[in-house]
Structure formats: structure tokens, C-alpha cells
Amino acid sequence: MSFLIIVRHGQSIWNLENRFTGWVDIDLTEKGKLEAEKAGILIKKKNIEINFYYSSLQLRANNTLKIIQEVLTDKKDFVKAWQLNERHYGALTGLNKSEMNKKIGEKKVHEFRRSWDIKPDPLDKKSLYHPINIEAYKDIPEKIIPDTESLKDTYERVSKYFEEEIKQKLKDKNVLISAHGNSIRALCKKMFDLDNYQISNLEIPTGNPLIIELNNDSKIVKCEYLDKERAKSLVVF
């Protein structure tokens, strides 16, 4: 038996400002830090030894995980993987969602945010928001850095990384992943075999640990959010 714990980062500054964040490196708000601390407290109450920690390359996910580890008094190193990054929102990056609703309509914005295979226009490589101009991505070959992504694109990179780097560890070890709304949607599609409609409508709350219990055959036997007051529907459970 093993456990996979998935946590979306705590509220970020651009979450608060209702802006498309994507791959831009934005830190947590004070509320986000408190959400991360509460996540750590809830995980600690489960008394589960976590053997491996993973995060994206992004500051908000890294700092969420660091706060959780402080609460757990666990100083293990964690793996940072760009494959667990948030979806790249292309030319929408940095824009206010409410303003875009007024400009192009809520339906179109919803398509860009949640449709399975529709991509926003690509982000100009000269933009300060483009990953090639952000220090955190300097070691990633430019040819594999996206200019924009659909949810499908995000699923493909997250799923591949999970299969190659994480799945085998869950045979007998416990893993905690700190990631993002869309990379966690991708993980949930993978774990729960969700269809494209279900994954597009799955809501992922910030800073609320989702704990998945697996049996010795890697089948899910139980799944729950630890903060019951802020839990969202899991679609399948």
C-alpha cells in the first residue's frame, strides 16, 4: 500500500489579481502561505512518511512545498521538474481574466482556459513573460520550451513524466507532489481515467491536499481532500 499526495500551490499574487499566470514565476500571497501551512498541518495529522517530494520549477509551487516540509520537519531534497509546470497560456499570459471576459466574451475565455485541445495564440518570444527570458528556465533547451499550450499538451508532458519518474516509486513508497491547477488536472485524468469533458470541468482548490491511497496493485482504494470545508468534487469519487 502507498500514498500519493497532490497539492496545488497556495494562492499566488496573480491568483489574487485574477491574471493568467502560466509559466511566469509568481510568488505566494500571505493567504497562500497560510494555505500551505494548513496543508502541512493536515498532512502531518495523517502520520504518513513521505519518501519522495516533487515540484514544478515554479516559485509558487516550490515555496508551497518548502512550507509543508517545514511543518513536517522533513528536510529531504525535492525534485524540481518543468514537466509539472502550469499550462502555458501563450499570449494570454499576464492578462486579467475578467477584462478578457469583457473583451472577447466569457465563452471564448472559458474555451481557452478549459477546452481540451484549443490553444491561445503563442506568446511573443520577446515578451518578458516568455520562459526563454525567465531565469528559472535557463537550463531547459529552448527548442522544447512552448510558446503556448492546450490542456492536451499539458496532459501529455505531465503524463509522460509521471510514467517515467514517479509511477514506479508508488509501488511501495509515498510521494508528495506540489504543482498547479492544470498539471494536477492532468494527473487526475491519468490517475482516475477521466474523459476530456470531466477533466475540463474539474476544479482544483489551492493549498488543499488531495490524498490518494493505492493498493499493492497500484489500484486506487480511497481518495479524499484533507480540508473538507474547501473540498471540490472529484468527479469519480
| pLDDT at site 159 | 97
**Active-site residue (options: 35, 37, 86, 164):** 86
Q: pLDDT tens digits for 153-174? A: 999 999 999 999 999 999 999 9
Is 9 assigned a catalytic role? yes
Q: Please report the pLDDT score of residue 235 as a whole number.
A: 57
pLDDT at 103: 80
86 noted as active-site residue:
yes
CB environment 192-225: b (16+ within 10 A), e (fewer) = bebeeebbbebebbbbbbbbbbbeeeeeeeebeb
Q: pLDDT band at 109, cuts 50/70/90?
A: confident
* pLDDT value, residue 229: 85
User: What pLDDT is attached to residue 83?
Assistant: 98
pLDDT at 101: 82
CATH number 3.40.50.1240 given to 6-33+49-157+177-230:
yes
Could you state, in order of their start, the residue ranges of all structural domains in the chain?
A: 6-33+49-157+177-230
- What span, in angstroms and rounded, lies between the C-alpha atoms of 145 and 132? 7
Q: What is the CA radius of gyration of the chain?
A: 17
Q: Which is more confident, 103 or 8?
A: 8
Band (pLDDT 50/70/90 cuts) for residue 234 is low
Q: Distance between CA atoms of 150 and 87, rounded to whole angstroms?
A: 7
**191 membership: H or E segment, kind and range:** helix 181-192
| Residues near 227 by beta carbon (within 8 Å), at least 6 away in sequence | 38, 39, 42, 205, 207, 208, 209
Q: Rounded distance, CA 177 to CA 184, Å? A: 9
Residue 115: closest CA among 48, 182, 206: 182
Residue 128 sits at φ, ψ, to 5 deg, of -65, -20
Quote the pLDDT of residue 236. 52
